[in-house]
């Protein structure tokens, strides 16, 4: 049976049972994880997963059923269950918000890439990690060395009862190294690149770009030096954040609060609501004039880059914050219509077995015009922090506290001695309004996040926050270490 004939069977089964609209998404997913830990291959996993999810809409209420049973009977049963669920949902729901996509697409998309990872021999993939991990062990105090590669290949086939037929092949790749130094009653860890590796859409060229082996000795040395480094002091000071940390800041304090389902209360019991309420659209001064953040699902190298989202809406670029002003959200068909807008294609499911929902996709902080080293020049006393270590923010996304792996003092415009356990905290709009410089395009990177959690059942999303280092004034630092 082809996906096309299976899709027609499933859609016919759903519509004949009363669905006003139905779609079905088949996925054939292949993932590979290799992890080397202290000289041994601790993980070497090849996963193949095929299945489908059917959405049925009845009287403004959705039902969803997923299965890996591709037989005729399996398709019929899944369609029947999706319809039954929609009907049960409709029976108690007072508000019927469900809305079907209006535009039909017949198209295909493939992630641009240079080297198909399948062409790289398995032995070469493992050897790269063994070499990089070995290079971390520059002293016995490196208690744990790790090096890893993740490869994803997803073939998606989307069909809907309005005639959409969209075929996509998505490739995403990532790799990283980490050194854990243990000694003097302390544990300090450094990751590279960024805080969890370099994750982007594309092929093996993404792995090569990370330059794991070349950077391993430096990362290990930094982990060792952190054991002996002084504690980051507590107080109010100017801060420069490295690009990957700005990426995390965007993710937590803009990406999540700008998800319109969260704004509408759909995540209230779990991942929370949002301070970016609909009546503030066009009015809220989210950040300084320098701060412009957009959602761009066509971004080259973005982990969420694709032709169409998982309810069949074509990828677009749209503003969230323009010159500091709140102007938009990440939206689905349902939620966009509830505020008189159109979807900007931000609906994703982790894989076939999950219901598509609004997910953070690719967020882009527009680069500024300040070369990286000039971010420090007019700081008399401050701190430069790199690589996220901890992240916590309240359930309306206002009060946050983040920690980094490593920091350096800034004195009279120059970087000074290394500091350990750096943390900083604040309140989201005040913090972004204190941003007075953003790095230029030369320091701007599409940082991928491979493990963003949201939803019940929990789904793991892969997002990107493209960012450059940035400067913030009068920030509370050393939070949590006041002793």
Partner 1 sequence: MNNQQREALATRVLGMVASGDAEVLVSADESALTRFTRDTIHQNVAKHETSISLRILRDGKMGVARTNILNDEGLEACVAHASALTAFSPPDPLLGQLPVSPTVEPTPGAFDQATTDATPMYRADAVATIFKHAQAANAWCAGYVSTASYGVTIANSRGALQSFDGTDAAINTKMTAPDSTGFAEAHATNIASLDADAVGRRAARIAVDSAQPVGVAPGEWTVVLAPAAFGELLTYIGDHFSAQAFDEGSSFFGRDLGRPYFSPNLSISDDFSHPLAPSMPFDFEGQRKSRVDLVRSGIVNDIVTDSYYARKLGRTNTGHALPAPNAVGPQPLNLVVAPGKHTRDDLVHSVERGLFITRFWYIRVVDRRRAIVTGMTRDGTFLIENGSIVRGVKNMRFNVSIVDALAHCEPAREQARTGGYAYSLVVPTVRIDGFTFTSGTDF
Using CB under 8 A, which residues numbered 451 to 480 contact partner 1?
453, 455-458, 479-480
Contact predicate 347/359, CB 8 Å: yes
Count of helices and strands (H, E) across the chain: 9, 23
Q: Least Å distance between CB 42 and partner 1? A: 6
Contact predicate 416/240, CB 8 Å: no
Q: Least Å distance between CB 181 and partner 1? A: 11
Please say which residue, 124 or 442, places its beta carbon nearer to partner 1.
124
Site for partner 1 in 247-286 (CB under 8 A): 261, 264-270, 272
288-305 burial: b if 16+ Cβ within 10 Å, else e:
bebbbbbbbbebebbbbb
Alpha carbons 419 and 408: distance in angstroms, whole number: 5
Q: Out of 15, 130, 213, 284, point to the residue binding partner 1 (CB under 8 A).
A: 130
> Which tokens is 109 given?
């998309």
51 binds partner 1 (CB under 8 A): yes
Site for partner 1 in 11-30 (CB under 8 A): none
Site for partner 1 in 388-427 (CB under 8 A): 389-396, 398-399, 401, 403, 421, 423, 425
Please say which residue, 261 or 330, places its beta carbon nearer to partner 1.
261
Site for partner 1 in 136-195 (CB under 8 A): 143-144, 146, 180, 182, 185-187, 189
Q: Least Å distance between CB 88 and partner 1? A: 4
Q: Out of 126, 281, 316, 418, point to the residue binding partner 1 (CB under 8 A).
A: 126
175-198 burial: b if 16+ Cβ within 10 Å, else e:
bbbbbbbbeeeeebbbbbbbbbbb
Write the DSSP symbol of residue 94: S
**Angle 88-94-96 (CA atoms, 0-180°, nearest 5)?**
75
Q: Out of 7, 10, 57, 65, point to the residue binding partner 1 (CB under 8 A).
A: 65
The mark string for 207-246 relative to partner 1 (x by CB under 8 A, - otherwise) is: ----------------------------------------
**Angle 159-161-165 (CA atoms, 0-180°, nearest 5)?**
25
How many Cβ atoms sit within 10 Å of the Cβ of residue 2? Answer: 9
Please say which residue, 190 or 314, places its beta carbon nearer to partner 1.
190
Site for partner 1 in 86-125 (CB under 8 A): 86-89, 91-97, 122-123, 125
Q: Least Å distance between CB 305 and partner 1? A: 25
442 binds partner 1 (CB under 8 A): no
Site for partner 1 in 361-390 (CB under 8 A): 389-390
Q: Applying CB under 8 A, which part among 75-83, 317-325, 376-384, 467-475 lies near partner 1?
A: 75-83
Q: Which residues pair with 192 in a beta bridge?
A: 177
Q: Out of 64, 158, 376, 444, point to the residue binding partner 1 (CB under 8 A).
A: 64
Alpha carbons 426 and 227: distance in angstroms, whole number: 27
Q: Least Å distance between CB 183 and partner 1? A: 9
353 binds partner 1 (CB under 8 A): yes
Q: Least Å distance between CB 346 and partner 1? A: 16
Q: Applying CB under 8 A, which part among 74-82, 100-108, 304-312, 376-384 lies near partner 1?
A: 74-82
Alpha carbons 171 and 245: distance in angstroms, whole number: 25
Contact predicate 358/336, CB 8 Å: no
Alpha carbons 59 and 204: distance in angstroms, whole number: 47
Q: Out of 7, 10, 22, 61, point to the residue binding partner 1 (CB under 8 A).
A: 61
**Count of residues of this chain found to bind partner 1 when the rule CB under 8 A is applied:** 92
89-127 burial: b if 16+ Cβ within 10 Å, else e:
bbeeeeeeebbbbeeebeeebebebeeebeebeeeebee
69 binds partner 1 (CB under 8 A): yes
Please say which residue, 162 or 182, places its beta carbon nearer to partner 1.
182
Alpha carbons 199 and 190: distance in angstroms, whole number: 17
Q: Least Å distance between CB 70 and partner 1? A: 9
């Amino acid at each position: 049976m082809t996906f096309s004939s299976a899709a027609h069977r499933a859609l016919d089964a759903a519509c004949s049972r009363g669905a006003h609209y139905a779609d079905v998404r088949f996925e054939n997913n292949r993932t590979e994880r290799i992890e080397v830990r202290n000289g041994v291959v601790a993980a070497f996993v090849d996963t193949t997963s095929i299945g489908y999810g059917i959405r049925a809409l009845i009287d403004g209420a959705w039902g969803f059923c997923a299965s890996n049973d591709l037989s005729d009977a399996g398709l019929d049963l899944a369609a029947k269950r999706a319809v039954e669920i929609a009907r049960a949902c409709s029976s108690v729901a007072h508000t019927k918000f469900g809305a079907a996509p209006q535009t039909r697409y017949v198209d295909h998309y493939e992630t641009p890439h240079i080297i198909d990872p399948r062409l790289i021999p398995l032995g070469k993939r493992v050897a790269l990690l063994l070499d990089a991990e070995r290079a971390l062990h520059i002293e016995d105090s490196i208690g744990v060395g790790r090096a890893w590669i993740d490869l994803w290949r997803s073939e998606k086939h989307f069909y809907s009862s309005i005639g959409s037929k969209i075929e996509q092949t998505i490739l995403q790749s990532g790799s990283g190294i980490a050194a854990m130094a243990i000694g003097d009653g302390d544990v300090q860890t450094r990751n590279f690149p960024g805080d969890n590796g370099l994750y982007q859409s594309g092929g093996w060229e993404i792995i090569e770009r990370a330059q794991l082996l070349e950077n391993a000795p430096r990362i290990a040395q930094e982990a060792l030096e952190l054991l002996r480094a002084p504690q980051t002091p507590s107080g109010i000071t100017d801060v420069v954040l490295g690009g990957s940390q700005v990426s995390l800041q965007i993710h937590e304090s803009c990406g999540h609060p700008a998800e319109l389902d969260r704004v509408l209360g759909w995540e209230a019991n779990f991942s929370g609501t949002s301070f970016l309420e609909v009546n503030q659209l066009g009015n809220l001064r989210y950040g300084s004039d320098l701060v412009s953040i957009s959602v761009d699902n066509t971004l080259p190298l973005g982990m969420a880059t694709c032709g169409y989202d998982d309810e069949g809406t074509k990828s677009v670029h749209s503003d969230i914050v323009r010159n500091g002003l709140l102007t938009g959200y990440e939206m689905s068909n349902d939620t966009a219509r509830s505020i008189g807008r159109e979807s900007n294609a931000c609906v994703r499911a982790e894989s076939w077995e999950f219901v598509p929902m609004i997910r953070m996709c690719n967020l882009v902080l527009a680069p500024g015009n300040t070369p990286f080293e000039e971010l420090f020049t007019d700081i008399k006393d401050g701190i430069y922090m790199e690589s996220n270590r901890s992240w916590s923010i309240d359930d309306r996304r206002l009060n946050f506290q983040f920690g980094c792996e490593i920091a350096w003092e800034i004195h009279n415009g120059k970087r000074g001695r290394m500091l350990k356990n750096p943390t900083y905290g604040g309140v989201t709009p005040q913090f972004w309004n204190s941003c007075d410089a953003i790095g230029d395009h030369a320091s701007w990177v599409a940082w991928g996040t491979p493990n963003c959690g949201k939803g019940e059942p929990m789904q793991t999303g892969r997002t990107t926050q493209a960012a450059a280092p940035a400067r913030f004034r009068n920030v509370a630092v050393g939070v949590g270490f006041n002793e």
